[in-house]
Structure 1
Amino acid sequence: MRATLDAFWNDEDGVTTMEYALLLVLICIGSLAAFSNLGSGVNDIWEKSVKAVLGK
């Protein structure tokens, strides 16, 4: 039983997959933050352009 637990504890086959999954999660969170900030900036520019064209 002890040998089985030691083998399970020292097995590193899934470590790389987990690291890639965590990296993907961090990239997604960063992308969402960037797109939300970029979206509000684009919206402000669009509104200013519309007001300038319509003369409001």
Structure 2
Amino acid sequence: MGEARQAYGLSDAPGGRAAGRLAARSALNRFWRDESGATAVEIGVLMCLITVILITALTTIGGNIKIAFTKTANAIGS
């Protein structure tokens, strides 16, 4: 027939994956090394940081612009 492929998980066969704590540790190591979703998370965090910085900057600039227009309107009106 064919050769049996090693499945991810526990195995009691000789030469198979370790049972018990070692199997859980190897699964955790595999999960820790998996970086398939890391890029999306990093992009999301960067977008949130950029959004917070923009909101803060626009709020500060917006207040200053309002003061400048008020002073200009008062100077023109006088």
Unaligned runs of at least 5 residues, structure 1: none
Instruction: Give the one of 23, 28, 40 matched to 1:17.
Output: 40
Q: Which has the larger radius of gyration?
A: 2
TM-score, normalised to structure 1's length? Answer: 0.83
Q: How many equivalent residue pairs?
A: 55
Which structure has more relative contact order (CA 8 Å, sep 6+)? It is 2
Choose between structure 1 and 2: higher helix proportion: 1
Unaligned runs of at least 5 residues, structure 2: 1-22
Amino acid at match of 1:20: I
In 1, Cα distance between the equivalents of 2:32 and 2:56? 37
Point out 4+ residue stretches in structure 1 off by more than 4 angstroms. 3-6
Partner of 1:47: 70
Give the share of equivalent positions with the same residue, in percent: 27
Question: RMSD of the alignment, in Å?
Answer: 1.3
